[in-house]
């Protein structure tokens, strides 16, 4: 791997890992989309369930992760995506392990009430609540992430075999739409159906459908970003760009 290509992979890997890690940790917050956009509550009703457009903050970043997946697939093939996917899953698990260790160490007495003036009477409870996501949520997220990544790569490859070099939007957005469909439901099923909350089927289907509708819309809106990323990378690689893509294409064909 020559220097420009190596630097490119390092940058893409850094963006991929950073977005995935941040998405996991900020996902503890649930935000209301309508007030965020200055809109009146939409109010949905599906499968006998009612609710508003509330999402975990992690959904703000996961679309970028899937875009990065397609970009890495384009220039570094399946091997590059699989390497980053397993590395990211391992680092997420590593991060949560040390978050758990940070929770379990005894807090300094003076620190516990050091944020009382800001409305936080017990800093240890707040810290544990924010960083101590349940094992079911962590497990569901990791399983969904890996399944979604592998599915995204497979669909991207199959669409590319049919369409050739053209129709970047179709293989990139299409693979993301399908992989995020599975991702949306797997994480909820593991975390909240199999987990201790035991969501009923109707609630699982309703929340999963609303979450996927958001991701579907985000994927479509981010399609121009894929073309922008390709243009910037091709410009950076210059004359080497076709050879890099060809090598990635050969790598995909081997799998």
Do the domain assignments include residue 116? no
Q: Say how many domains are in the chain.
A: 1
Pull the structure tokens for residue 222. 């981010």
Question: How many Å apart are CA 53 and CA 193, to the nearest integer?
Answer: 20
Task: Report whether 68 contacts 16 (CB < 8 A).
Answer: yes
Q: Which domain holds residue 133?
A: 3-108+121-254
Q: Could you read off the pLDDT of 33-61 as tens digits, one per residue?
A: 889 989 888 888 888 888 888 888 888 88
Do the domain assignments include residue 114? no
CA nearest neighbour of 177 among 192, 195, 159, 200: 159
Q: Could you read off the pLDDT of 121-142 as tens digits, one per residue?
A: 999 999 998 888 777 888 888 9
Question: How many Å apart are CA 249 and CA 255, to the nearest integer?
Answer: 10
Do the domain assignments include residue 179? yes
pLDDT of residue 228: 92
Do the domain assignments include residue 81? yes
**32: phi then psi, degrees, rounded to nearest 5:** -95, 120
Q: Is residue 251 very low, low, confident or very high in pLDDT (cuts 50, 70, 90)?
A: low
Do the domain assignments include residue 212? yes
């Amino acid at each position: 791997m020559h220097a420009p290509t190596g630097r490119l992979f390092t940058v893409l890997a850094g963006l991929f890992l950073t977005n995935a890690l941040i998405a996991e940790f900020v996902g503890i917050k649930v935000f209301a989309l309508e007030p965020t956009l200055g809109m009146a509550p939409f109010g949905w009703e599906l499968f006998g369930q009612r609710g508003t457009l509330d999402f975990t903050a992690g959904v703000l970043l996961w679309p970028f992760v899937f875009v990065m997946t397609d970009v890495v697939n384009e220039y570094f093939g399946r091997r590059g995506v699989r390497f980053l996917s397993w590395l990211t899953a391992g680092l997420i698990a590593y991060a949560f392990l040390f978050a758990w260790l940070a929770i379990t160490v005894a807090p300094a007495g003076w620190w516990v009430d050091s944020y009382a003036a800001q409305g936080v009477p017990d800093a240890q409870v707040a810290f544990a609540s924010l960083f101590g996501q349940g094992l079911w949520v962590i497990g569901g997220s990791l399983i969904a992430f890996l399944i979604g990544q592998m599915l995204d790569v497979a669909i991207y490859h199959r669409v590319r075999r049919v369409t050739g070099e053209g129709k970047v939007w179709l293989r990139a957005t299409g693979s993301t739409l399908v992989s995020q469909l599975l991702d949306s439901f797997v994480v909820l099923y593991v975390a909240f159906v199999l987990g201790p909350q035991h969501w009923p089927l109707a609630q699982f289907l309703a929340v999963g459908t609303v979450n996927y509708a958001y991701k579907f819309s985000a994927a479509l809106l981010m399609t121009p970003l894929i073309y922008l990323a390709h243009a910037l990378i091709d410009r950076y690689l210059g004359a080497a760009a076709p050879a890099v893509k060809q090598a990635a294409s050969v790598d995909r064909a081997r799998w």
